[in-house]
Amino acid sequence: MAVRIKVVMAMMILTLCCVIAIVPVGKENAAKAAVESASTPAWTWPVPGYTTISSYFGENRSGSIHKGIDIPAPLNTPFVAVEDGVVELAGHASGFGNWIVIKHSTNLYSIYGHMYDDGVYVKPGDTVKKGQIIGAVGSNGESSGPHLHLEACTAVYATPRPCVDPLNYLGTQEQYPKLQYGDTGPYVVKLQTLLEDKGYDVGVIDGDFGSRTKNAVILFQQDNGLTADGIVGQQTWQKLLETTQSSLAKVNVQLNGAAFNPGFYGNGTTYVYWRALDKFKISYTFKGNGIFLIEGRTVQAKIINGGLYIPWNLLSPKMAFKSIAGGFNFIYSVATPINIQLNGKAFNRGYFKNNNAYVYWRALNTLKIPYSFKGNGVFIIGGQKVLAETINGVMYIRWNQLSPGKITYTRITGGYNFIYTP
């Protein structure tokens, strides 16, 4: 009897082990992910404006299982952190080219891959916020084309990495909203910018869907065989977003005298790569779809050769420029307004910057100082070449260059009295 009991117990144990052994791994992971995702905040979509998935989690790739999802986008397209966290790793990784690994408070890690060296914008130890730009799309490592590879893993240093489907955590993919007369906001700014780029008159790009914008939409819809109702639905968005050939010319760019990424010139303005904001330490928020909130202003960037570029004068109202060989040197400096007198008489306000006072160029006329203007901010004064500073779009000359050796000054309330002795 005792022997029979032992045999039965052994068979029960064997059966139980077999049942446990044949539970499908995929369902086990799915169940685990469902439990985790129930307590995990929704991740934001990592590549704003690009929602196509070219390869899904779990696909068999020549005997290896794809541990994440692939989101195709043009080279240098910015991508963002899916959730608040701390950068665990950032740099070279086998197969990825480069990767970024962020640890989140939920004990999950988000992993981003295939960036080039200059497409990694964070370093280990950095604290990042949900929606913060952390890198640019590349095609480095084992990659067949530009895309962002995204993983959601419960550990990083284990071999193999235990990962689950990122779609368990990602919120709704970004969609372009339906727009009509009376709407306002950043998507209206994008609409107006796209229409203007295609030659339709929207007036001022101000984020206000008024009658002028509506008329431009109707004309665009008529030209493209769409229902001309002035309402921007998915079909209209799709037509608007179709890529057109750019005729912009590449130009050299400097930032405060230091070489920077080349820019592009066309339509009367120069477009500067968006990371100039970081170089200048200008406060901004990236809202997706090429839309930036810069110092409280909504600015629509332009996609050129797959990168985001911003008109130079929209980087900040405090921008100025000088011509250089084949391009421009863009200067960002906080200029403080000051009071100016010329020989004791009140004159236009000047500016104090870089430890120097700058005077409106027409002081030359007021003081009857001989000069000739050569264009591009260049004056010949007393036989010497003087380059004026552009501040808020107006030319100003450093006080001691108005007439070298013949200008002195005294302090007055809030500024200077400049004295010219012929």
| 37-46, 90-99, 332-341: which is most confident | 90-99
From first CA to last CA, the distance across the chain in angstroms is: 127
Q: Give residue 189's pLDDT.
A: 82
Query: Kind and range of the H or E element at 21?
Result: helix 2-21
Q: In sequence order, what DSSP letters do the residues of 151-204 get, joined into one string?
A: EEES-SSSSS--EE-GGGTB-PPP-PPPB-TT-BSHHHHHHHHHHHHTT---SS
Q: Give residue 26's pLDDT.
A: 38
Query: Kind and range of the H or E element at 257?
Result: none
Q: Give residue 197's pLDDT.
A: 66
Q: State the fold for domain 186-241.
A: Muramoyl-pentapeptide Carboxypeptidase; domain 1 (1.10.101)
Of 14-18, 98-102, 413-417, which range is least confident?
A: 14-18
* CATH architecture classification, 60-168: Distorted Sandwich (2.70)
Report whether 317 contacts 392 (CB < 8 A): yes
Does residue 109 carry a pLDDT above 90? yes
Give the pLDDT band of residue 16 (cuts 50, 70, 90).
very low
Q: Give residue 3's pLDDT.
A: 41
Report whether 379 contacts 388 (CB < 8 A): yes
Q: Give residue 153's pLDDT.
A: 95
Q: Give residue 173's pLDDT.
A: 55
Digit-coded pLDDT (tens) for 114-123: 999 999 999 9
Give the pLDDT band of residue 419 (cuts 50, 70, 90).
very high
Higher pLDDT, 406 or 234: 406
Higher pLDDT, 11 or 338: 338
- Percent share of the chain, pLDDT over 70: 85
| 163-172, 210-219, 266-275, 345-354: which is most confident | 210-219
Q: Give residue 175's pLDDT.
A: 59
The whole-angstrom separation of Cα 191 and Cα 239 is: 11
Give the pLDDT band of residue 36 (cuts 50, 70, 90).
very low
- Please provide residue 108's backbone torsions phi and psi, each rounded to the nearest 5 degrees: -105, 155
Q: Give residue 149's pLDDT.
A: 96
Report whether 91 contacts 120 (CB < 8 A): yes
Give the pLDDT band of residue 372 (cuts 50, 70, 90).
very high
Note every long-range contact of 368-372, with CB atoms under 8 Å and residues 24 or more positions apart, other chains counting: 368/422, 369/402, 369/403, 369/420
Q: Give residue 37's pLDDT.
A: 39
Higher pLDDT, 157 or 194: 157
Please provide the average confidence, as pLDDT, over all residues in the chain.
82
Q: Give residue 244's pLDDT.
A: 45
Of 79-88, 160-169, 242-251, 315-324, which range is least confident?
A: 242-251
The whole-angstrom separation of Cα 325 and Cα 329 is: 10
Residue range 138-156: mean pLDDT, rounded = 91
Q: Which of 132, 87, 56 is nearest to 287 (CA)?
A: 132
Listed by start position, the domains of the chain span: 2-37, 60-168, 186-241, 249-319, 336-420
Kindly state the tokens that stand for 247: 């005729």
- Please provide residue 132's backbone torsions phi and psi, each rounded to the nearest 5 degrees: -80, 135
pTM (2 decimals)?
0.43
Digit-coded pLDDT (tens) for 79-90: 999 999 999 999
Does residue 110 carry a pLDDT above 90? yes
Higher pLDDT, 341 or 29: 341
DSSP 3-state assignment of 255? strand
Give the pLDDT band of residue 269 (cuts 50, 70, 90).
confident
Does residue 242 carry a pLDDT above 70? no
Q: Give residue 25's pLDDT.
A: 36
Of 101-115, 205-219, 257-271, 358-372, which range is least confident?
A: 257-271
Kindly state the tokens that stand for 265: 């010139």
Count of residues making up the chain = 422
Q: Give residue 9's pLDDT.
A: 43
In this structure, how many other beta carbons lie within 10 angstroms of the beta carbon of residue 252?
A: 15
Does residue 1 carry a pLDDT above 50? no
Tokens 């797959």 belong to 306
Q: Give residue 199's pLDDT.
A: 60
Residue range 204-222: mean pLDDT, rounded = 89
